[in-house]
Amino acid sequence: MCVKVRLTHYSKLPPLGFDSAHFHNVPFDSYLVTKTLMLEQIFSYLELEDRKSVSRVCRLWAKLVFRKSNIQLALDFRAPSKLDSSESFRVLMASQRRYKHLLLYFGTKHDKSDLMLAILCKFAESLETLKLISDCTFSLRLDFFRRIVDRCQRLTTLHLQSVIFNHHKADDLRFGVLPKLERFYLKSNLLELAEVDVAKITPNITSLFIRVNYTSQRPVDFVRCFASQLTQLGICFQTADYFRQFSRLHFPRLEKFDLSSAEELVDEGEYEHEYLDLIRRLDKLKQIKLQNTVNTVVLITLTQCCLHLQDLCLNTDDLTDEHFLCFGELKCLKNLRLIKAAIDITQPEIYPVLPGVGRLTIEAVKIKNYNKFNYFLRHSFPRLVSLQLLQLFSPVRFKCDMISIYHQILNNLISLERLALHEKGKLHCEFFSAFATLIGLRELQLRFRGLGEYRYSTDMADFQVRSLLVDFRQINVGGLDTLIRIFPNLKRMEVCGASPEDVQFVRRKLPGCVVRHKRKQRIVECTNDT
């Protein structure tokens, strides 16, 4: 059997709280304790690759460098390993590291249940996060889930995706409790097993993602059990048949809400009354994502009832003047994300000013008038710090020149500090000239499938970008050299798609720049944090 092992950062921990005052007048016999605490503090600031290098120095450092860090152990059972599978398994089972976060990713070609169960039992006592994800629906024995419940008592997050559980013995139905579980992502058939009372197994969850299928209302009943304690809920309806029952529930503590449906809920008017009643009861919401057709009645109700809303995401077909006028009522709004909408800006001067919005994300959106859209950005978002334009200029949707489009949209966004651009096509370096008026730009994230030739122009601005994250599918030494010439002031650079030799080339060219090489890089969410 083959297993592919990958270590990734699961989350970024704050510093360990080192205080030099603790080490004044330390007795000599506590020297080792002092040394250990100091090393742990130093190691807490290292990136993953540096931690791996440090761990090879000696056994003590290998123990300390990963002891208090949130490192995720990701095991991919689909791809063949470069090492012998038995040797890889032996090394993993001999590891003394107590991983807190485990991801098991598998397919359906071969049953790896026994191997996964052995690895799970190895790290069960220290696990706080467990994810079981299959690339398609896969069947596991129910005793696999029973082992999780019995052994992983420290779990705070459980993620089950595309997994079907079947039981074979009566003992498989004897479950304990996961007392510390708070986050539950459930995209499996677990609720369909009538003999298993999942609500008693997970009594303390406060964050839930769940899918309501065509055949059963059991997921809605499960949500009903925890409605009074949920602070975060993501629910996806494959059919609207059970939406009316769900809309009658009360969520007095809900702060984050993600609602999507395969069928329209308000377009035909059949469920509009229930939809509005549900929103009126969510007066404590701070974050909401609506993945349906959102009319102005829904937005008006949202702005009148959810006065504390800070983060709004709309995945809808059209955004009209009436929609944008509603945004002005959200006085606490900080982040706005618009997905798959057709935006026709006609009179941007009548739109409200949103001085609190610092981050704007435009994804797969069709913009009909770029000049007016630029005026809209400068008028309505005077303090815009982060802008993400994702899959905006596909050749299938736009026939005009990409460079001209960027010029029209990005012109004179004085306050912009972070910009993320994600496209499926090839990047032509001339488009960097569109950044000439972005005098405050410091961080740039790019994701393209290739880099075109660069014709250097002396009239291009001396860009002040300090941080560059690049995800190119194909990039060579010439392309890296081009980026170095365009961004001479880089202090931090992350590159995906380049060979280790290319990375060394960049490090020689930019000795004062921290260069990271990642095999897979996603365009990350820009934040307003300084």
Does 57 lie in the same domain as 3?
A: no
pLDDT of residue 160: 93
For residues 285 and 31, give the distance between their C-alpha atoms in angstroms, rounded to a whole number: 51
What would the pLDDT profile of 127-140 be if each residue is shown by its tens digit? Answer: 999 999 887 778 88
- Is it the case that residue 9 has pLDDT exceeding 60? no
Does 200 lie in the same domain as 75?
A: yes
Does 522 lie in the same domain as 493?
A: yes
H or E element at residue 103 = strand 101-106
Identify whether the C-beta of residue 72 lies closer than 8 Å to the C-beta of residue 9: yes
CATH code of the domain covering residue 471? 3.80.10
The amino acid occupying position 307 is L
For residues 151 and 337, give the distance between their C-alpha atoms in angstroms, rounded to a whole number: 40
Task: Mark which of 205, 240, 261 sits at the end of a domain.
Answer: 205
What would the pLDDT profile of 417-435 be if each residue is shown by its tens digit? Answer: 999 988 777 777 777 777 8
Task: Determine the Cα angle at 120 with ends 118 and 124, to 5°.
Answer: 125
For residues 171 and 166, give the distance between their C-alpha atoms in angstroms, rounded to a whole number: 13
- What mean pLDDT do residues 498-518 have? 79
What phi, psi does 434 have (nearest 5°)? -70, -15
Is residue 281 in some structural domain? no
Give residue 207's Cα distance to chain centre. Answer: 16
- Is it the case that residue 31 has pLDDT exceeding 70? no
Does 429 lie in the same domain as 403?
A: yes
| N residues, the chain | 530
The larger pLDDT score, comparing residue 473 to residue 384, is at 384
Does 142 lie in the same domain as 22?
A: no
Is residue 328 in some structural domain? no
For residues 35 and 30, give the distance between their C-alpha atoms in angstroms, rounded to a whole number: 9
- What mean pLDDT do residues 181-207 have? 93
The larger pLDDT score, comparing residue 9 to residue 168, is at 168
Return the top range by mean pLDDT from 20-29, 203-212, 372-381.
203-212
- Is it the case that residue 328 has pLDDT exceeding 80? yes
Q: Which residue range forms the structural domain that includes residue 140?
A: 1-16+68-205
pLDDT of residue 372: 86
- What mean pLDDT do residues 378-399 have? 77
Task: Mark which of 205, 230, 260 sits at the end of a domain.
Answer: 205
Is residue 303 in some structural domain? no
pLDDT of residue 17: 34
Lowest pLDDT segment from 58-72, 120-134, 141-155, 276-290: 58-72
For residues 29 and 125, give the distance between their C-alpha atoms in angstroms, rounded to a whole number: 32
Q: How many structural domains comprise the chain?
A: 3
Is residue 364 in some structural domain? no
Does 462 lie in the same domain as 439?
A: yes
For residues 477 and 129, give the distance between their C-alpha atoms in angstroms, rounded to a whole number: 40
Does 44 lie in the same domain as 173?
A: no
The rounded mean pLDDT for the chain is 79
Is residue 496 in some structural domain? yes
Does 485 lie in the same domain as 447?
A: yes
For residues 20 and 259, give the distance between their C-alpha atoms in angstroms, rounded to a whole number: 49
Is residue 267 in some structural domain? no
Task: Mark which of 185, 205, 225 sits at the end of a domain.
Answer: 205
The closest alpha carbon to 75, from 117, 44, 46, 47, belongs to 117
pLDDT of residue 94: 80
The closest alpha carbon to 514, from 488, 494, 489, belongs to 494
Does 77 lie in the same domain as 55?
A: no
For residues 236 and 265, give the distance between their C-alpha atoms in angstroms, rounded to a whole number: 12
Residue 358 to residues 129, 417, 522, Cα–Cα distance (Å): 32, 10, 21
* pTM of the entire predicted model: 0.81
What would the pLDDT profile of 35-92 be if each residue is shown by its tens digit? Answer: 667 776 676 666 666 777 777 777 777 777 766 556 677 887 776 554 345 677 777 7
- What mean pLDDT do residues 295-322 have? 88
Does 181 lie in the same domain as 59?
A: no
What would the pLDDT profile of 10-26 be if each residue is shown by its tens digit? Answer: 443 333 333 333 333 44
Does 85 lie in the same domain as 21?
A: no
- Is it the case that residue 361 has pLDDT exceeding 70? yes
Concatenating the DSSP letter of every residue in 112-141 gives -HHHHHHHHHHHGGG-SEEEEEEEEEEEEE
Does 518 lie in the same domain as 447?
A: yes
The first and second tokens of residue 407, run together, are 């010029």
The larger pLDDT score, comparing residue 353 to residue 495, is at 353
pLDDT of residue 8: 58
Percent of the chain past pLDDT 70, that is, above it, reads 78
Is residue 121 in some structural domain? yes
Is residue 283 in some structural domain? no
